[in-house]
Amino acid sequence: MPWQQLLSPQPRLPSASLEEWYASLLERLGPVAPLQVAMLGGRLAATPGLAFLAGYQGALRALWPAAPFTLGALCVTENRSTRPADMSTRISALVLDGRKDFVTAADAADWLLVAAREDEPGQPVQLAVGVVRNGAPGVRIETLPALPLMPDVSHGRLHLQGAHCERLPGDGWDAYVKPFRTLEDTHVLAALCAWLWGVGQESVWPQDLQLRLLGLLAGCAEVARQCPSTPASHVLLAGLFAQFDSLRAELNAAFASGDPSWAQLWQRDQGLLSIAASARRKRLEKAQTLLGISL
């Protein structure tokens, strides 16, 4: 991680459409590693939502290093569930049929990773991941209304009907869907901490608070180096989120004493890190059992 680039004062990228903003980000950064996309993108973002987008894209590239240099999305959820047994989307002979109900930045994404069942009737559930291009025959995006949280990052429903795809190698659950949860948590936390660091630098927050945000970023860099499927990674990541939670009162006080526009953005979007809190707790509990430790 080129820390000097993160620490140096630099102008934020202006808000734009998601495609334009992300293209401007990559033009500014050049060829960088996934964690750099998250951290530097978060630092250059004008809103927490755009910081989230940078973290999400960094996580996708950590998951699939061969990903194109355009916006992408991972499509898993069906009827508010991510359980393989609850999925009806199927892949057969490199053709996808089905529906995904919640896709981040769906209308802006150029490519879509789609989790789909490929098991035969009566056999254990087996997932694969296929790649389709937005706008290709049989691929349709239904844009959904903006949410109160991060309204600047769109989401939509993906409809697939006879859509030809590229099947990624490996098991869809173990190689893609399951590790992405940890990758996304790590990269989004890094992106949001980088956004906060930038706000704190510009707003001259207390030095101790700024330094602890940098400590969190250093921790994210270490966790990002680990295999996302190991119990140790889940414990270390839980430690980072515990550190972040311990800063909330100081962050709220810092925002309250500064520019109201920053405070409004933080008040609106700070809950984005709480979305997957329940899943993280379950992974931590399982990791402790596997490691034989108690926290």
Residues of the chain with pLDDT below 70 are: 1
Number of H helices, E strands in the chain: 11, 8
pTM value > 0.85:
yes
Query: How far, rounded to the nearest angstrom, does the alpha carbon of residue 279 sit from its chain's CA centroid?
Result: 14
Q: Which of 178, 187, 188 is nearest to 229 (CA)?
A: 178
Residue 108's contacts (CB-CB under 8 Å, 6 or more residues apart) are 17, 18, 19, 22, 71, 154
Backbone angles phi, psi at 245, to 5 degrees: -60, -30
How far apart CA 132 and CA 75 sit, in angstroms, is 11
How far apart CA 191 and CA 53 sit, in angstroms, is 9
Can you give the pLDDT at residue 1?
63
**Residue 147 in tokens:** 């949410």
Can you give the pLDDT at residue 104?
96
Query: How far, rounded to the nearest angstrom, does the alpha carbon of residue 133 sit from its chain's CA centroid?
Result: 20
Nearest-10 crossing angle of helices 248-256, 178-203: 40
Show me where the domains of the chain are located: 3-63+175-291, 72-167
Query: How far, rounded to the nearest angstrom, does the alpha carbon of residue 142 sit from its chain's CA centroid?
Result: 21
Q: Radius of gyration (Cα) for the chain, nearest Å? A: 19
Answer yes or no: CATH 2.40.110.10 is held by domain 72-167. yes
Residues 11 and 3 sit within 8 Å (Cβ to Cβ):
no
Can you give the pLDDT at residue 201?
95
Residue 235's contacts (CB-CB under 8 Å, 6 or more residues apart) are 284, 287, 288, 291, 293, 295
